[in-house]
Structure 1
C-alpha cells in the first residue's frame, strides 16, 4: 500500500470533519477501524474509500442519533437506512413536543393563578370535533396562529374553529354540565394532536384555561397540558357575516361525492351544478355524474382537491349541503342533519378558455 493511498489520522480528520480523538473513539468502538496501524509507532492510517462512511457517521451523530442506531444505519441497505433515520427524527420531534408541553405545565404551576372552571365534555365527541377542525390548520412560520384551534367556551356551548386562510372548520359541542364563566383562547394544534389518543379512550374529559395553557383532564385524573398561541385568531365570525347570500344549494350524499373525488384523482376538480344534478370533472376532462338535489341557478365552480376533500370527508352524517355563492365566493360544506360542523372552502378561478 503506497503512501498516496492512505492518509494520516490528522489528514483524515480534516477530510471528514471528525477530530482525531473522535476517530480514535469510533475505531475503539468498532464503527470505523483504521485501514492500517503502524506496528512500531501505533500511528493510524485511513484510506480514501473510508471517507464517505466517516462523513455519514459524523452527520448521523450531528442529528443526535445514538451510537447503537448509528451502527444499524451504517450496516443497512439504503431503504432500511432511510427508514431508520426517519424513525429517529420522529422520535426526536416527539420528545421535543413532550418536553415543550411538560415545560409549559411546570411553568403554569408557578403562575399562582388557578385554572378556570373546568368544562366537562364527552371524550369521543370532543376527540371527533378536534380531529375534524384540525384538518383546516397549517404550519406557516410567518403566521403561527394558523396552526392553532380557537376555543370559545361559554355556559352552554364550546365552539372550536381552525382556518388556513383557504378553508375553515367550526364545530360546536354541548358540555355535559353547564358552567357559569366562559373563556376563549387559541390552543396549539400540535399539542391537541398529541392528546387525542388519550381523549379517544376517555369517557369524559374536562378542559380548563390556565395562564400558560389549557389543561385537558382525562379519565383517571390523567392531565395533559396544551400550549397557547399568543397571536390574535382571525375574526372568523366577521368573515362569515360578510359572506354574500347563498344562491345555489346542493344536497348530496357524502359517500357519492367522496367516491367521485377519489375516482377522478384531479388536483383541481370542477363541479358543474345543474338543476338535474352534479357533475364532477377531473384532469382528463371526463365528467362523473353525482346524484344531487339542486336548488338555484346553474353554476360551474372549481376547487383545490386538498381543500375540498378534507371538508367533505370530515363532515358529519350521510348527507351534505353545499351552499354556493358564485364561482369566486367561499362555499360552505355542512351536514344536512347535523349542522354543528361547518366548513368554509375557497374556490379557485376557473381556467381560461382558448
Structure 2
C-alpha cells in the first residue's frame, strides 16, 4: 500500500475514536494489527479500510464485551455477530438485575431486616396478571422515571394498581385475601416488578410489605423479592378521572374482532367511526376502505382518531371477550374496559383530528 494511503497512529486514533495506547494494545493482542510498521522507526500506520473495524471494536468494548467475544463478533458474519451481541447484552441485563436484587436484600439487612408494614396479601397468579396488564401503560423517558413505575394504593378493602405513559392510563383494583394493616400509597419501580412477575405467578399467596425505600414481596418457599420506590410524585390521576364527565357515546364490541380490524389496518394512526350501525376502523384520511366491526352503540355518532400504539394495547389488555368504549367527544379521553368486569380500566388519549382530510 502506498504511504499516501496510510495514516499514522495519531490520525487513525482520531478517525476511530480509540486512543493511541489502546491501538497499540489491540495491535499486540492481534485484534487490530497496523497495515504497516516502519522497520527502522517502528512507527505504525493504518489504512482507511481499517476505520470501520476499529470503530466497531471501540463500540463493542464500550458495552463491556470481553476481548475473546469481540474478536468473534468482528470476524463473524452479520447474523452471527448480531446473535453474539444480543447474547452479551442479555447476560449484562441479567447480571444487573441480580445485582440490584442482591443490593436491595443487603440494604434491608443493614437496616436490621425489620418486619415491614403489611400492605396486602394477594393471590400470586391474580397479582401477576394485574401487574402485567397495568404495566403496559408505562414508558421510559429520560428525567421522568415515574412514567415507568406502578403506583400502588392500599386500603383495608382493596389494592389499586395504576400506571400512565401520559397517553394511556391503566388501573386495576384487586380485593386482598387479607386486609392491610393501614392505608399506604407509593410508586414502585416497574423494572423490579417485571423481574419478579414469574415468581409471583407461581406463588399461591404473596404478602406485600412496605419497607424503607421500597416494598418486599414475601412468598412461601421462595426468596423474598424487593422492589424500589421511586421518589417522584405520581401524576394526579384521581383529579383527571374526576374531571372526565359523562360519556356521550357507548360502544360494546367483541375484543377479538376489534383487535383483528386494528391488526389489518395499514397505518400508524387509526380513525374509529362510531354510529348506530357499529364501529368502522378507517385510516385517518379515508384513502383505504374501512373495516366494519359489529357493535352495540348508544348515544351520538362520533369520529375519533388514535395512535395505534395507544389504542391497540389498551384494547388487548382488557379482560373478557367484549370491551366497552365510553366516549366523550373527539378530543377527550376514551374509557376502555371489560363489558362485564370493571376491575381493569384504561383511558386512551385520542390524537387531533386532521380536518383537512
Q: TM-score, normalised by structure 2?
A: 0.88
**Structure-to-structure mapping, 1:3-18, within 5 angstroms:** 16=16, 18=18
Q: Give the match's secondary structure for 2:324.
A: strand
**Cα separation, 2, equivalents of 1:270 and 1:2:** 63
**Structure-to-structure mapping, 1:244-259, within 5 angstroms:** 244-259=245-260
**Structure-to-structure mapping, 1:271-282, within 5 angstroms:** 271-282=272-283
Aligned to 1:285: 288
**Structure-to-structure mapping, 1:68-147, within 5 angstroms:** 68-112=68-112, 114-117=115-118, 119-147=120-148
Aligned to 1:56: 56
**Residues 6 and 45, structure 1, Cα contact 8 Å, conserved in 2:** no
**Cα separation, 1, equivalents of 2:18 and 2:171:** 53
**Cα separation, 2, equivalents of 1:110 and 1:53:** 47
**Structure-to-structure mapping, 1:23-42, within 5 angstroms:** 23-35=23-35
Aligned to 2:340: 337
**Cα separation, 1, equivalents of 2:89 and 2:231:** 28
Residue 310 (structure 1) shift = 0.6
Residue 280 (structure 1) shift = 1.4
Residue 3 (structure 1) shift = 5.6
Cα distance change of structure 1 residues 58 and 278 upon mapping to structure 2, 3 Å threshold: closer
Aligned to 1:158: 159
Tell me, yes or no, if structure 1 residue 353 matches structure 2 residue 356: yes
Q: Give the match's secondary structure for 1:269.
A: strand
Q: What do you get for the CA RMSD once the two structures are aligned?
A: 2.6
| Structure 1: runs of 5+ lacking an equivalent | none
**Cα separation, 2, equivalents of 1:254 and 1:300:** 19
- Of 313, 318, 343, the residue aligned with 2:316 is 313
**Residues 108 and 213, structure 1, Cα contact 8 Å, conserved in 2:** no
Cα distance change of structure 1 residues 50 and 287 upon mapping to structure 2, 3 Å threshold: closer
For these two proteins, the number of residue pairs brought into alignment is 353
Residue 32 (structure 1) shift = 3.1
**Cα separation, 1, equivalents of 2:301 and 2:18:** 69
Residue 94 (structure 1) shift = 3.9
Q: Give the match's secondary structure for 1:234.
A: coil
Residue 333 (structure 1) shift = 0.4
Aligned to 2:331: 328
Residue 227 (structure 1) shift = 0.9
Q: TM-score, normalised by structure 1?
A: 0.89
Aligned to 2:191: 190
Cα distance change of structure 1 residues 311 and 166 upon mapping to structure 2, 3 Å threshold: same
**Residues 134 and 162, structure 1, Cα contact 8 Å, conserved in 2:** yes
**Cα separation, 1, equivalents of 2:356 and 2:21:** 68
Residue 44 (structure 1) shift = 6.9
| Structure 2: runs of 5+ lacking an equivalent | none
Residue 168 (structure 1) shift = 0.4
**Cα separation, 2, equivalents of 1:306 and 1:277:** 23
Q: Give the match's secondary structure for 2:221.
A: helix
Cα distance change of structure 1 residues 17 and 334 upon mapping to structure 2, 3 Å threshold: closer
Q: Give the match's secondary structure for 1:220.
A: coil
Residue 316 (structure 1) shift = 0.4
